[in-house]
Chain A
């Protein structure tokens, strides 16, 4: 279960909303490999909190499911989830722009991603749609190179995964 969160978003001075816990969260990690191999890992565990003027997104990595139990175990080994159980993304609240009712905002925002115990700056492309009745639908995407985070490029029985990883996060928030 996702913890109940409350955060105050100051979005370009336009929106001041109290946000409850995200719902419908889906984190999708996509990788490509040898001979057209395509691997996707998913998890629905996403926690959002506020810390020192930043929004902090945390994803427990042990719950990422790639569809094959052994592959999950290998992934946990490459990410060393025993020592680094979470991926964390921090984004300055003031850099975010939330849309007016009935509108959609799409923009890029800088963030700090921590993975495998290594923090690196990255750029997040995000899209926020206010669906009505105070609900915001959010999608954020970014692309990282796992080598930048000290993660070995996985190879298994002659199949190698490319170091570039696409990450997509979807969730909904409701203003209260």
Chain B
């Protein structure tokens, strides 16, 4: 049983795509996400300003920065689709292609190794006056079909599928600081970290890979704080309806300083049949998270969540928790060394699981990055080791 669980975790990692979200941008004083991202709580599609920042702040530079910034060619080219085409001001387009290779080992023995097609998506964002709309559509290979079910639009069990991680429409409010929208939306909870297989994301079911759900959300971003609340109407990619969760989630993050932010999150969702137990369930998660950059090369992120699962009608309740502590050191512009420790205990896995991550991430060129992760996890059974290398390109 336990071995099967680990296999599921490992394989789901291997097969799932990944998306962008860089909470470590707080090192540059960006406590807010909405300045750069179409999603006001961060993730995936960038606006023109965000694309420019990705060139100016994320990527390695080859030469003296001040000289480069003073040169005539210093202006980023990403605003107009890499400078290849001029786009109307109301339209933004994006695209992602991520490929990887993974090795999984149990007790030191490799049990799985393969090439991964991780992400092949296109996206668009419309902004006409106060009206906003965004959508991302992607390709999920046949191998990944089972593990992108929560984002599937088509439902082939043997062939490739069309997936849609998010698509929504809404209106800006409060002079552009607020956004009221409806559609398939990332669940607002905790850190929006890229590591979608981290315990805090899997335990709370709030990753930005496939855990989006349909609903109505309101987000607001102010210089000293940001918040988003969402009412869930159910994930329409899940069938039948009994498995769809209804409820809500939200977070509030306060900026104590330009490079320090503290937040709290809450989530409560009910389904007639939990995907895990097939029983009526009320799932709750409450937690806190923080980001801080005491020195520009260093960013520390932490999240701790309390997990409550109530089996409705029986009075049974599982109490668990999940934690994440990550340190990001930018050795030089574009090259990051990351280390993370994590823990998780849930009703389904009552033994404390522990994990340690070591990662190297290089934003080598504008719109191109490479990443390698080594993840060791321990529980009651044999330890597992995963090595993943990946290359990512995006428009």
Contact = CB atoms under 8 A, between A and B. Distances in A.
B75 A34 contact: no
A11 to B, nearest CB: 33
Interface string B217-247: 0000111101000000000000000000000
Interface residues of B, number: 34
Given A68-B57, A73-B70, A36 B222 contact: yes
Interface stretch (B13-21, B28-36, B281-289, B357-365): B28-36
Nearest to B220: A36
Contacts of B51: 157
A40 interface: yes
Given A35-B176, A69-B66, A157 B47 contact: yes
A40 B30 CA distance: 11
A35 B75 contact: no
Interface string B324-338: 000000000000000
Contacts of A159: 35, 49
Given A34-B176, A36-B32, A68-B69, 4 more contacts: A36-B34, A38-B32, A156-B52, A157-B49
A70 interface: yes
Contacts of B303: none
A132 B70 CA distance: 45
13 contacts: A32-B223, A34-B34, A35-B34, A35-B35, A35-B177, A36-B34, A37-B32, A38-B224, A72-B69, A73-B74, A157-B48, A157-B52, A159-B35
A18 interface: no
Interface in A37-90: 37-40, 67-73
A143 B39 CA distance: 32
B69 A73 contact: yes
In the A-B complex, the 8 residue pairs with the closest CB atoms: A69-B69, A36-B221, A35-B34, A36-B32, A157-B48, A38-B223, A157-B49, A37-B35
A52 B49 CA distance: 47
Contact of B65 (A33, A35, A69): A69
A38 B74 contact: no
B70 to A, nearest CB: 6
Nearest to B223: A38
A70 B258 CA distance: 20
A68 B57 CA distance: 8
Q: How large is the interface on A (under 10, 10 to 19, 20 to 34, 35 or more residues)?
A: 20 to 34
A13 interface: no
Given A35-B40, A35-B177, A36-B221, A67 B47 contact: no
Given A157-B47, A157-B52, A158-B49, A38 B29 contact: yes
Contact of B29 (A39, A69, A73, A157): A39
B94 to A, nearest CB: 15
Interface in B72-109: 74-76, 79, 89
Contacts of A157: 47-49, 51-52, 79
Nearest to B225: A36
Given A35-B32, A157-B49, A158-B48, A40 B258 contact: yes
B49 A156 contact: yes
Given A68-B57, A69-B69, A70-B56, A36 B49 contact: no
Contacts of A158: 47-49, 89, 127
Contacts of B35: 33-37, 159
- Which of B49, B177, B222 is the most central at the interface, judged by chain A CB atoms within 10 Å of its CB? B49
Contacts of A36: 31-32, 34-35, 177, 221-223, 226
A40 B259 CA distance: 11
